[in-house]
Amino acid sequence: MIFKFTVLRNTFATSLFLFTALASTSFVVVKAQNSKRSANSSIVTLPAKERIEIFEDVWQAINEKYYDPKFNGVDWKAVRERYRPMVERAANDAELYNVLTLMVGELRDAHTRVRSPHRRQESKNKRATSAGIRLYEIESAPVVLNVTPDSEAARAGVKPGMIVRTVDGQPVAEALTEARREIGTSSSERATRLLSYQRLITGEPDTPFKLGLARADGTPFEVTLTRRTVSTAPQFVANFLPSGYAYIKFNHFQTPVDKLVKEALVKFKDAPGLIIDLRANGGGDGELGLKIGGYFFNDKIPFANIVTRTGKPPSAFFGLYKLPKEFKAGKKGGQLYSQPVVVLINEGTGSTSELFAGAMQEQNRAQIIGTQSCGCVLGILNHKRLKDGGDLAISEIGFVTSKGRTLEGNGVTPDKTIAVTLADLQSQRDVALEEAEKYFKDLKGEISKVALCNFIISLQEI
């Protein structure tokens, strides 16, 4: 989530990570022991003394700034004593960042994270690596969740719903156990699971990724893909569905999404219903979340409240600017769309997306359909640059909804839970989208019944 100070134009970040393949890039972590990394990644670039200095800098910054004085129940001083010897034994910079990632992971917080200089530059350039597929768990089975159209994976015949048996020759259960051990625990079990499956794919560009799969009929299928560099620029779709309802989907709250949504809502203003698809949307710019939320209201509405370490509103620019303790969205006469709304969410819906969905739900402005969201909702005031060019993000702000719900670790609970099944994947059936359309049809029927009853009553009174 990223908020920009309106007056001073500073950035207060909490970009959620997770998921470009999971919808954002920040969940991608350094796989220091990956034998498929590039040859240059193991070159020692810092003296051991400077690696220790970076470790101490990271630990101290979190110690001073973390939003929760209890550090999510973690003994942060004991964490330092446990991890410092690992840094002292680190043979190179990649191992340093592996240790830092594990240490920061002790907080069980998807937003607080470190990035190596390489990962930071990738993010800055809006680039990441992908094998053209996403893996996840459906009905307790590891499966191919989706395949990027016209990708190497698609051309090789990989299809959604295929069950994963092996990863690079290793049984998938063992690979997942190893991945979980490497990443630690995140904000929620859903976030940890997402991270673990993303970890299976993580690697250097142009390296092979071998999968042993099972087709829908049970026959084996093996494929070797190549990790490619891909853009993480925001993606946006807005159109009318064959049913006549309007549909908007984007994967990140990032400029110019606010303008695109505004244009779409003007176009869709007479549509009988609107579906906003925030599945696999990992969050982004919080200010855009407020702005887009405001398009659905004719007055200011409460969006979220801030929680800080001191209980006071956070400030910036040497105290010259203070963030409000309560965020509001909307303005008098600012509503662009007044018809019924459905918001689709799933485990990959995080951060700003969760605040948006939660606010729309609490204001009775939208029906929420899908599965429990990530539960990854914290705020970052800025990124701390490290000595070697890497950086550190620290959660300095927590959030609760206007009704006092804590979304971090919990997520948004749908009004109607619709879970994807293996059969749905294999038949490429979008059951959540179908449920959204059904909701509008049922709502229209209820409105027609009420109108008919009122008409009959008026006739009886004549």
Query: Within a domain: residue 455?
Result: no
Helix (H, G, I), strand (E, B) or coil at 221: strand
**How many domains is the chain partitioned into structurally?**
3
pLDDT at 320: 55
Distance from C-alpha of 26 to C-alpha of 110, rounded to nearest angstrom: 9
Distance from C-alpha of 103 to C-alpha of 113, rounded to nearest angstrom: 9
The answer on 212 and 261 residing in a single domain is no
Residue carrying the six token digits 């979980």: 180
Q: What is the pLDDT of residues 2-56, one digit of tens each?
A: 544 333 222 333 333 343 333 333 333 333 333 333 334 444 479 999 999 999 9
Residues 6+ apart with CB under 8 A from 87: 51, 52, 55, 96, 99, 100
Q: Return the bridge partners of 3, or none.
A: 12
The answer on 330 and 419 residing in a single domain is yes
Query: Within a domain: residue 447?
Result: no
Question: Which mean pLDDT values do the consecutive 10-residue runs of the chain (462 residues) have?
Answer: 39 34 32 36 72 97 95 97 96 93 94 90 78 95 95 97 97 95 88 93 91 97 94 90 97 95 97 98 93 97 91 65 82 96 97 97 97 95 92 94 94 97 96 98 73 50 58
Domain boundary among 105, 127, 149: 127
The answer on 177 and 194 residing in a single domain is yes
First-residue to last-residue Cα distance in the chain? 58
pLDDT at 448: 54
Domain boundary among 200, 231, 262: 231
Query: Within a domain: residue 460?
Result: no
Distance from C-alpha of 443 to C-alpha of 341, rounded to nearest angstrom: 11
User: What domain range includes position 8?
Assistant: 2-127
For the record, the structure tokens of 264 come out as 């779409």
Query: Within a domain: residue 153?
Result: yes
Query: Within a domain: residue 62?
Result: yes
The answer on 150 and 220 residing in a single domain is yes
The answer on 123 and 194 residing in a single domain is no
Helix (H, G, I), strand (E, B) or coil at 305: strand
Helix, strand, coil: what percent of the chain each, to 5?
A: 35, 25, 40
CATH number, residue 258: 3.90.226.10
The answer on 211 and 246 residing in a single domain is no
Distance from C-alpha of 119 to C-alpha of 122, rounded to nearest angstrom: 5
For the record, the structure tokens of 204 come out as 């250097």
Distance from C-alpha of 7 to C-alpha of 321, rounded to nearest angstrom: 9
CATH number, residue 207: 2.30.42.10
C-alpha separations of 410 from 188, 376, 405, 407 in Å: 7, 8, 9, 5
Domain boundary among 127, 145, 177: 127
Distance from C-alpha of 297 to C-alpha of 304, rounded to nearest angstrom: 15
